[in-house]
């Protein structure tokens, strides 16, 4: 047992590295999304600015370490063994929880995770101590162990940030957009300079002056007394002459902004990059405690125990942990470097950016979330309130304001979610709110702030119009629900882990180490599996103008793999139902879902592709719609066949009779031949070797009619039951639809090639 506690310290040290990695992966989107969403610069440039911000923020984060050591519980009521078990339980639970969220691509709050892990572990250990036969304390003594008032303040501060951030984001950006409009380029010379100066001045004051002041309070060294004294006097002067100092900052940045604009540079690009740096700095300054606060507190606890002569750990009181302890700058810098390396080299950082950008984007696109009754009620309520509110204002005023929110020249970049005006507002508002919380030593959630500010600015920008509002509101509610769920899971997981460690000690430690390795191994495998399933980039992206020829070629490139999948699915469904093979039918159904997911790309890009067609060749867009429509009909028919065959077998209905099975196998053979014909046409880019019209089509339709007649006669003779009849009708009718759609696709391709070679009219597209 002599090596037990040193082993725990070593384990916590290694866990702290993993915690830094998984925490950075989760929080990277907070300061990257605005720059990436607005495409302000290359990803490399954005990462450089973010890295510099993290490095400086890590150096300025020492003032926040008190929350991890004594912000949630009172160390004087716990023994050394209790403290170590609490810290170890927090680290284990926090890493597992964050890694699961990262693998799923869902952003969550590292602050909420850390605070509630601490609360859950301390609560469990406190309850064990209070209910032990030696103590037998009443329940209200829990307030002595847990700082309920402080915990309540932290929790309220975290969750109030949701409302505050959304409100500030919406109202401030409404006025910013009113001044800029969406045609902001023409207003950069005057309004752009003023807004940039305000933004840059605010971020400079809060992130440099106030951040430096909080750091110097814990970093005064004998060799730095002169410099430190100068900075302290300078800070005091700024406090007493706040408006003068702010005026100096504003004047300086105004001159710089004016120079940028006069040289023809878009000053908002600099604001967004500076804001990315500032928000990354605020993130490191505020959230670094979530990752290394616990390990540092563990090492400090161990040193206190060791310096006291290593008394029995179960009886050594940790009152000394309540004192002020200096955090070495080298530790903070090393932690910052680990976070920077993770930012550059971790592939998972790209996996969780889509949620916020999808919910805040200005342009059209697929909605990631489905609507629900609650989101519909909220939208209807605010539509009603909005209509009543605007009745109070003159119509002329509303019309004048509305002009600034109309997008006359909507920029249609494929990856640009919003413009630089909104990106600068997101970063400015978020960094100021987070910096204020950092100075006040409140563990504000950067995820909550940046996400809700982004949602607020989206609302102000009318990105949530009546076409998308219910889906966006539903998405926001689901994300917030996930945040609350994070707190509950963190509290429960850390509490159970602490109990397990308290009673089983070394056996629990050994088991948990292997469990963490297993979780990371499974997480790695699941992540790679998810990456392999990801849909390839759409062939239409990157093409500026689509001609008739390019549209035909690229659309058929998309169609070919879909038809290959459908052929295999159809074959498996027929074989599965004739052999009553449940496993084959389940695989067929799962493969269909993959096809449907791939086809979602075509569905979501429909309008964008049509807009890419040249004005002089609208026929290209018409062709794309027809091919899209026929492909959708084939997929819908496959949906019915895979679903109904699986439903029949999984519910143990009576099997098909011998003649029915024989007929379906013949139909399957003919259908596969038909699939092979169109696939050969697409692969060879020619139909000359294929006899046209295809005789196989008539054979299929004739066979379907024969089987339907046999089915009717079987019903009359009471040979087939209800379930049998509906199953056969579904297979036959949907096979007929698939045949007709394939025939139409072949005709389309045949006529399209004729049109290209002879430039005939487009009457062949009129189905």
- HEC string of 378-436 equals HHHHHHHHHHHHHCCCCHHHHHHHHHCCCCCCCCCCCCCCCCHHHHHHHHHHHHHHHHH
CB 79 within 8 A of CB 503: no
Distance CA 707, CA 712 (A): 9
- The pLDDT value recorded for residue 61 is 64
Which range has the worst mean pLDDT, 102-116, 220-234, 417-431?
220-234
Which has the closest alpha carbon to 275: 59, 442, 107, 37? 37
Which range has the worst mean pLDDT, 69-78, 80-89, 676-685?
69-78
- The pLDDT value recorded for residue 212 is 57
Distance CA 308, CA 230 (A): 39
CA 50 to chain centre: 19
Provide φ and ψ at 317, rounded to 5°. -75, 140
Q: How confident is the model at residue 542 (pLDDT cuts 50, 70, 90)?
A: very low
Tens digit of each residue's pLDDT (9 = 90 or more) over 553-612:
777 777 888 888 899 999 999 999 999 889 999 999 988 888 887 787 677 667 767 766
Which has the closest alpha carbon to 753: 585, 612, 553? 553
Complete DSSP assignment for 677-704: HHHHHHHHT--TTS-SS-HHHHHHHHHH
CB 171 within 8 A of CB 220: no
The answer, yes or no, to whether residue 694 has pLDDT greater than 80, is no
Q: How confident is the model at residue 68 (pLDDT cuts 50, 70, 90)?
A: low
Distance CA 730, CA 331 (A): 68
Average pLDDT over residues 489-494: 92
Residue 546, helix vs strand vs coil: strand
Residues 516-537, buried b or exposed e (16+ Cβ, 10 A)? beebbeebeeebeeeeeeeeee
Which has the closest alpha carbon to 43: 28, 54, 55? 28
Residue 682, both tokens: 């697409």
Q: Domain locations in the chain?
A: 4-360+370-404+420-529, 548-765
* Predicted TM-score of the model (pTM): 0.73
The answer, yes or no, to whether residue 174 has pLDDT greater than 70, is yes
Report the Cα–Cα distance between both ends of the chain, in Å, rounded.
83
Rg of the Cα trace of the chain? Answer: 32
Angle at 581 between CA 578 and CA 583, to 5 degrees: 145
Tens digit of each residue's pLDDT (9 = 90 or more) over 219-263:
444 444 555 566 667 767 776 777 888 899 899 999 999 998 888
Q: How many CB atoms lie within 10 A of CB 617?
A: 18
Distance CA 713, CA 710 (A): 5
- The pLDDT value recorded for residue 226 is 54
CATH number at 548-765: 1.20.58.220
Higher pLDDT, 672 or 462: 672
Q: Is the dihedral of CA 340, 344, 348, 354 positive or negative?
A: positive
- The pLDDT value recorded for residue 215 is 53
Q: State the burial class of residue 156 (Cβ atoms within 10 Å of its Cβ: 0-12, 13-18, 19+).
A: exposed
Distance CA 56, CA 288 (A): 12
Tens digit of each residue's pLDDT (9 = 90 or more) over 313-370:
888 888 877 665 556 677 778 888 888 888 887 766 665 566 666 666 766 656 666 6
Distance CA 91, CA 82 (A): 14
């Amino acid at each position: 047992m002599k090596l037990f506690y040193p082993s725990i310290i070593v384990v916590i040290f290694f866990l702290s590295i993993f915690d830094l990695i998984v925490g950075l992966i989760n929080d990277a989107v907070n300061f990257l999304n605005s720059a990436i969403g607005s495409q302000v610069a290359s990803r490399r440039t954005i990462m450089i600015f973010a890295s510099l911000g993290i490095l400086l923020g890590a150096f300025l984060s020492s003032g926040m370490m008190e929350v991890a050591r004594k912000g949630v519980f009172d160390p004087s009521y716990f023994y050394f063994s209790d403290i170590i078990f609490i810290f170890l339980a927090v680290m284990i639970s926090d890493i597992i929880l964050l890694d699961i969220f990262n693998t799923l691509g869902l952003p969550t709050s590292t602050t909420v995770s850390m605070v509630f892990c601490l609360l859950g572990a301390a609560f469990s250990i406190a309850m064990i101590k209070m209910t032990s036969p030696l103590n037998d304390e009443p329940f209200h003594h829990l307030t002595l162990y847990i700082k309920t008032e402080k915990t309540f303040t932290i929790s309220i501060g975290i969750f109030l940030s949701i409302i505050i951030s959304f409100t500030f984001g919406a109202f401030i950006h409404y006025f910013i957009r009113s001044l800029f409009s969406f045609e902001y380029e023409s207003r950069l010379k005057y309004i752009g300079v003023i807004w940039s100066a305000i933004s840059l001045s605010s971020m400079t004051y809060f992130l440099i002056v106030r951040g430096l002041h909080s750091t110097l309070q814990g970093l005064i060294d004998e060799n730095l007394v002169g410099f430190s004294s100068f900075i302290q006097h300078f800070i005091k002067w700024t406090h007493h002459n706040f408006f003068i100092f702010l005026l100096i900052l504003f004047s300086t940045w105004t001159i710089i902004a004016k120079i940028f604009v006069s040289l023809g540079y878009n000053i908002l690009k600099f604001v967004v990059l500076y804001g990315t740096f500032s928000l990354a700095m605020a993130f490191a300054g505020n959230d670094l405690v979530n990752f290394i606060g616990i390990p540092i507190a563990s090492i400090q606890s161990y040193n206190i125990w060791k310096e006291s002569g290593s008394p029995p750990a179960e009886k050594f009181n940790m009152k000394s942990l309540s004192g002020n302890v200096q955090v070495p700058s080298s530790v903070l810098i090393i932690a910052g470097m680990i976070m920077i390396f993770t930012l550059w080299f971790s592939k998972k950082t790209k996996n969780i950016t889509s949620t916020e950008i999808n919910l805040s984007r200005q342009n059209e696109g697929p909605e990631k979330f489905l609507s629900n009754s609650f989101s519909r009620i909220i939208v209807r309520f605010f539509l009603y309130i909005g209509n009543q509110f605007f009745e109070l204002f003159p119509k002329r005023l509303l019309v004048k304001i509305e002009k600034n929110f109309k997008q006359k020249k909507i920029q249609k970049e494929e990856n640009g979610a919003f413009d630089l005006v909104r990106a600068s507002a997101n970063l400015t508002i978020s960094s100021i709110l987070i910096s204020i919380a950092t100075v006040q030593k409140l563990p504000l959630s950067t995820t909550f702030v940046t996400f809700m500010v982004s949602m607020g600015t989206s609302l102000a920008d009318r990105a949530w119009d009546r076409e998308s509002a219910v889906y966006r509101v539903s998405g926001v509610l689901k994300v917030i629900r996930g945040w609350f769920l994070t707190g509950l899971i963190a509290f429960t997981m850390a509490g159970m882990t602490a109990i397990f460690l308290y009673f089983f000690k070394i056996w629990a430690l050994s088991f948990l180490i292997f469990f963490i390795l297993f979780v990371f191994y499974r997480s790695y495998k699941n992540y790679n599996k998810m990456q392999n399933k990801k849909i390839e980039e759409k062939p239409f992206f990157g093409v500026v103008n689509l001609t008739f020829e390019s549209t035909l070629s690229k659309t058929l490139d998309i169609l070919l793999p879909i038809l290959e999948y459908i052929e295999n699915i159809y074959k498996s469904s027929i074989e599965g139902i004739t052999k009553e093979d449940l496993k084959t039918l389940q695989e067929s159904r799962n493969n269909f879902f993959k096809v449907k997911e791939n086809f979602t790309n075509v569905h979501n890009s429909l309008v964008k592709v049509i807009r890419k067609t040249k004005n002089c060749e609208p026929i290209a867009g018409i062709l794309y719609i027809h091919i899209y429509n026929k492909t959708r009909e084939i997929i819908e028919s496959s949906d019915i066949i895979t679903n109904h065959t699986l439903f029949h077998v999984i519910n143990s209905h009576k099997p098909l009779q011998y003649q029915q099975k024989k007929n379906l196998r013949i139909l399957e053979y003919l259908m596969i031949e038909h699939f092979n014909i169109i696939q050969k046409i697409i692969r060879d880019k020619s139909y000359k070797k294929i006899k046209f019209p295809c005789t196989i089509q008539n054979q299929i339709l004739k066979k379907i009619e024969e089987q339907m007649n046999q089915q009717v006669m079987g019903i009359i003779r009471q040979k087939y039951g209800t379930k049998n009849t509906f199953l056969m009708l579904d297979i036959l009718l949907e096979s007929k639809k698939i045949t007709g759609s394939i025939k139409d696709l072949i005709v389309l391709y045949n006529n399209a090639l004729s049109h290209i070679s002879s430039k005939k009219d487009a009457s062949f597209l009129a189905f």
